[in-house]
């Protein structure tokens, strides 16, 4: 076993022990129920930096708002910046780190509020700070999906234990657990763009038809090579010269894109990328949050995914584009850089040549 894997496994086991020890000091509410008609406030815990999680579960924001339930979200600063203008979210709590001191400060802040329902909808690597948060909540009912924190929940749901469904189906499970099966709900993603940002991006695009290319994800497994980027760019430029290519990605990555005089958005805030995606014609992206944003607007898209690292966690299925207008290509390895050039070209031809449903 490599040293890195050994330390990861040791940290994993230590966290499990601490989580279980703390749970004995926590009043177990397992088995309690909730009357959906009585819910007035809800806290959703988003305990990581993945914006895609917030997008995939976003139909819940609309459904809760329609029931006049005040929704608060606990998230990192990235999640706050992404959703801070959303009209269906009443309040944010910002998590700055997993340190015990920061977690205790956040826990003390949360204790000032009573939430009728707390949702813990995402599985995490066993983390003591997460259990510390859960153990200090002033709430009537906690619905969770992470088996490591069963003792902290009022109701644990083992949704999709065999990992055969898209993660967005969890929204429907949450709604059914809280309100039953009586109504037909809209489960499409619920994203919001402020009017001034929408106007600015529309003016920037003008009458042009835009292709958004996002070739470099945060993880090494989700980064195209220089050769692949040049291939995609040159193919689009040659076959569809009327299209305007605009690159998106982390501001630190954009200068490394190996194409002369690339065009990018003048604004760095991510919400401008959301607006650009809404008004573009096509999207070509590696597996990042942009895939889910494009799915919210049903943009025709070529989504490039690495193969799952293990058969037990089929990430290309669980986190797939969930978009009828998307063409998903999965690498033969755990790196999108190993997608062969002829596959890229054939996929581009399919994307630009297909009938799309808008």
Task: Say which residue the tokens 């924190």 belong to.
Answer: 149
State mean pLDDT over 294-313: 95
The per-residue pLDDT for range 241-272, each reduced to its tens digit, is: 999 999 999 999 999 999 999 999 999 999 99
Pair 351, 282: CB distance under 8 Å: yes
DSSP 69: P
Q: What is the mean pLDDT of the chain?
A: 91
Mind listing the domains of the chain with CATH numbers? 11-179 (3.40.50.2000), 197-353 (3.40.50.2000)
Q: Which residues contact 40 (CB under 8 A, 6 or more apart)?
A: 68, 69, 70, 116
The per-residue pLDDT for range 166-187, each reduced to its tens digit, is: 999 999 999 999 998 767 899 9
State mean pLDDT over 62-70: 97
Residues 100-109: b if buried by 16+ CB within 10 A, e if exposed? eeebeebbee
Beta-bridge partner residues of 75: 94
State mean pLDDT over 26-45: 81
Q: What is the pLDDT of residue 125?
A: 76
Q: Is 328 left (phi over 0), alpha (psi -120 to 50) or beta?
A: beta
Q: What is the pLDDT of residue 222?
A: 97
Q: What is the pLDDT of residue 3?
A: 43
The per-residue pLDDT for range 90-149, each reduced to its tens digit, is: 999 999 998 999 999 999 999 899 999 999 999 877 888 898 899 888 887 999 999 888
Both tokens assigned to 177: 């657990």
Write out the DSSP string of 82-120. Answer: HHTT-TT--EEEE---S-HHHHHHHHHHHTT--BSEEEE
* Torsion angles phi and psi, residue 203, rounded to 5: -65, -35
- Checking if the pLDDT of 16 tops 90, the result is no
DSSP 307: P
Q: What is the pLDDT of residue 184?
A: 86
Share of the chain above pLDDT 70, in %: 92
Q: Cα separation of 137 and 74, whole Å?
A: 12
Q: What is the pLDDT of residue 148?
A: 86
Compare 47 and 211 and report the one with higher pLDDT: 211
- Please report which confidence band the pLDDT of residue 27 belongs to, taking 50, 70 and 90 as the band edges: low
DSSP 151: G
Q: Cα separation of 287 and 67, whole Å?
A: 34
- Please report which confidence band the pLDDT of residue 1 belongs to, taking 50, 70 and 90 as the band edges: very low
Task: Say which residue the tokens 């390895």 belong to.
Answer: 333
What does pTM read for this prediction? 0.90
Q: Measuring CA to CA, how many Å separate 319 from each of 158, 323, 335?
A: 18, 11, 16
Q: What is the pLDDT of residue 181?
A: 77
Residues 222-257: b if buried by 16+ CB within 10 A, e if exposed? bbbbeebbebbbebbeeebeebbbbbbbeeebbeeb
């Amino acid at each position: 076993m490599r040293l890195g894997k050994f330390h990861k496994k040791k940290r994993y086991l230590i966290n499990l022990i601490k989580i279980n020890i703390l749970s004995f000091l926590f009043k177990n509410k397992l088995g309690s129920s909730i009357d959906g008609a009585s819910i007035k406030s809800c806290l959703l815990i988003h305990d990581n930096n993945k914006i895609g999680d917030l997008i995939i579960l976003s139909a819940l924001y609309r459904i809760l708002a329609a029931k006049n339930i005040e929704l608060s979200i606990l998230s990192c600063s990235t999640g706050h910046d992404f959703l801070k203008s959303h009209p269906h979210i009443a309040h944010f709590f910002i998590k700055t780190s997993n340190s015990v001191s920061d977690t205790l400060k956040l826990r003390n802040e949360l204790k000032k509020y009573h939430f009728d329902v707390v949702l813990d909808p995402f599985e995490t690597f066993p983390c003591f700070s997460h259990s510390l948060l859960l153990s200090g909540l002033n709430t009537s009912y906690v619905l969770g999906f992470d088996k490591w924190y069963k003792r902290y929940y009022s109701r644990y749901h083992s949704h999709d234990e065999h990992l055969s469904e898209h993660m967005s189906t969890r929204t429907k499970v949450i709604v059914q657990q809280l309100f039953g099966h009586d109504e037909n709900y809209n489960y499409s993603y619920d994203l919001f763009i402020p009017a001034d940002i929408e106007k600015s991006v529309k003016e920037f695009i003008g009458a042009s038809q835009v292709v958004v290319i996002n070739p470099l994800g945060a993880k090494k497994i989700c980064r195209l090579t220089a050769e692949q980027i040049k291939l995609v760019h040159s193919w689009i430029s040659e076959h569809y010269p009327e299209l305007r290519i605009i690159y998106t990605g982390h501001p630190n990555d954009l200068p490394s894109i190996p194409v002369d005089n690339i065009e990018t958005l003048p604004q760095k805030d991510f919400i401008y990328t959301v607006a650009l995606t809404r008004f573009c014609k096509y999207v070509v992206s590696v597996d990042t949050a942009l895939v889910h944003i494009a799915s919210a607007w049903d943009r025709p898209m070529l989504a490039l995914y690495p193969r799952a690292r293990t058969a037990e966690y089929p990430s290309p299925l669980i986190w797939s584009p969930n978009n009828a207008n998307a063409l998903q290509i999965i690498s033969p390895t755990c790196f999108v850089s190993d997608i062969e050039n002829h596959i890229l070209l054939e996929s581009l031809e399919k994307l630009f040549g297909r009938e799309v449903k808008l």
